[in-house]
Structure 1
Amino acid sequence: MAPAQRPDPPVPAAAPVPLLKHGGIFTAVNPADWIRHWRQPNHLMLAVPWPGFFGLITAGYLLLHLLFALLYRLDPHGIAGVAGETTSFSEAFFFSVQTLGSIGYGTFHPSSLFTHLLVTVESLLGLIVIALMTGMAFSRFSRSTARILFSDVATVHDYEGLPTLMFRLANERRKTILEARVQAYLAIDERTREGHRMRRLHPMALTRDRSPLFLLTWTLMHPIDVHSPLRGRTSADLRAGQAEIVMAFSGVDATLERPIYAHHHVPAPGVLFGQGFDDMMQEEEGQGQCFDFANFNRTHPSPWHGPDLS
């Protein structure tokens, strides 16, 4: 009789892999994460902040001279005018500085064919490096920035008898922007009939999405009608779908005559149902009407007859 087989020991269940929640549609393209451009030097030099830009130029400048100083040291008698019998590292380094900058004080000068060839290569490389650095610096200076301020929250309340989503923009530079245009989308997680989870972008029609001139502030309105992707959704629905209101701004800087772009997103907790923005136009005694930018993000309870008052 065959011996009874011992049952295999139970295999411990694998530890569940934690799911990482995304932080918004712009998480993967954060402009502050400039280090990811290191494989594209031109993109890196345009994306890095100004202190980093000058730091990279300084580091590259020093590394280049250190490299040529080591090459000049291969021929200890190749540089004439040095203090000792052979060229020291510091003398080779400063000779490289003079060569790349075309300074030529006259104290140091090449005295061998090898050093003459190195000077020729470094001079040619210096022309290319200076041209590249000048072009990148000019590109950074000539690049126009939007400086468009978006409201931290979006409000939903009744307007002209129809529930309406509103958010604000402000021109921080107070300089005229021509042909301003705003596009708004609802980004939300949805599942297909087959059960696939997808991040979808639903366009949101605005009452006025273009302005020939944009100088101070602009309140954008999206009527929640039968065609709106927000129709029938509550704040709980938006939170469950990790929804966010995505806004994209474009226009032309009237001073530089260059296009400018800006974008922003408001997550689901920032969509305030039953709230409205405070009026920014205030009456001042002896001064008439003026804008109070302290009210840019302030809200107050406003009538809202939708399915959700949270």
Structure 2
Amino acid sequence: MAGRAGDRAPKARRIRLGNREVVTEGLELSFWADISHRCMTASWPAFIGGAALVFIVFNGFFALLYWFGDQPISNVPRGAYIDYLYFSIETLSTAGYGDMHPQSHYGHFIAAVELFTGIFSMSLMTGLIFARFSRPSARLLFADNPVISTHEGRQTLMIRLANERHNIIANATAQLWVFKSGVSKEGVPYRRFYDLPLIRSQSPALALSWTVFHVIDEASPLHGLDAAGLKAANVGLGLMVSGYDDVAAQTVHARKSYEHDQIRFGHRYVEILRVTEDGLRIDYSRFHETVEG
């Protein structure tokens, strides 16, 4: 059915899901309808820049209202707009140095509205900053490439990860999925995910490094696939790790996704653990290295 005249088609949006770029069409979400999520997910430079822009716009608007009045503020020489802007900044931030103050009903009314706006906006900004700082996060380092090699006599998919903070993540749990494209019996293309069982999916205390193993046997969705088969099925991997951070006293999560061209067949990870006279040593400079074998 044709749309009504004048209707605008929603714009296409580019989003990133892990390492994959997705273009979405036919869905339009108002900027203000999800402003809280946008504030929480924006980068720190974008968040601070946006806050500064809102601060400038608010003060510029209220300074304009003062400027329209008939000398609403005392001690403003020649009614200069820049002085009203300074007074607006003092009022919105509740600083109130005292050399300038409202001297008319109009000035008091605008100042009262601005004070309410300042209190409300500062409370909102404090809450957002606290939420961004207090949001739990895990500093986990994931290997650049999954590897498929023989382990304990069986073909095995392996992914190495490490705790960059070197604190204790208790009851760490890992979950691994594979995403594959296919065609149904009706000829409809689809993309489906499968859970990949791990030899050991839990670690009582993740402090250093951990390698997760998935055996590629007859029951595995990866069984019989080589590099060309992975490409044909547009295979992707998703690894999720969660656990209890003893320092933050909160549950933390981390995830990593891989595309089929990042999987290295016939490779294994370089050993980074060794025992010396000084004790156990870990060489993280070789964390991402692999060798054939």
Which band: TM-score by shorter chain? 0.7 to 0.9
Contact 1:282 1:289 in 2 (8 A): yes
TM (normalized to structure 1)?
A: 0.82
TM (normalized to structure 2)?
A: 0.87
Deviations 1:193-251 (A, max 9, x none): 11111111011000111112100100100011222111111211101122112111112
Opposite residue 229 of structure 2, the aligned amino acid is D
**1:72 alignment counterpart:** 66
Question: Partners of 2:233 and 2:177 in 1: how far apart?
Answer: 14
Contact 2:230 2:260 in 1 (8 A): yes
Question: Partners of 1:289 and 1:113 in 2: how far apart?
Answer: 75
- For the residue of structure 2 that corresponds to 1:202, the secondary structure is strand
Query: Structure 2: any 5+ residue segments left out of the alignment?
Result: 1-14, 24-28
**Equivalences, count:** 273
Contact 1:24 1:267 in 2 (8 A): no
**1:204 alignment counterpart:** 196
Percentage identity across paired residues of the two chains: 32
Describe the shift of the 1:25–1:174 C-alpha distance in structure 2 as closer, same or farther (beyond 3 A): closer
**2:92 alignment counterpart:** 100
Question: Partners of 1:273 and 1:140 in 2: how far apart?
Answer: 40
**1:298 alignment counterpart:** 289
> Cα distance, 1:27 vs. partner?
3.0
C-alpha RMSD over aligned residues? 2.2
Select which of 178, 182, 186 maps to 1:190: 182
Structure with greater Cα Rg:
1
Contact 1:163 1:224 in 2 (8 A): yes
Deviations 1:254-298 (A, max 9, x none): 1011221111122112222221112122244x4344112233222
Describe the shift of the 1:44–1:24 C-alpha distance in structure 2 as closer, same or farther (beyond 3 A): closer
Pairing of 1:1-310 with structure 2 (within 5 A): 27=20, 38-39=31-32, 40-84=34-78, 87-284=79-276, 286-302=277-293
Describe the shift of the 1:24–1:76 C-alpha distance in structure 2 as closer, same or farther (beyond 3 A): closer
Question: Partners of 2:207 and 2:30 in 1: how far apart?
Answer: 34
Opposite residue 159 of structure 1, the aligned amino acid is H
Contact 2:16 2:22 in 1 (8 A): no
> Cα distance, 1:67 vs. partner?
0.3
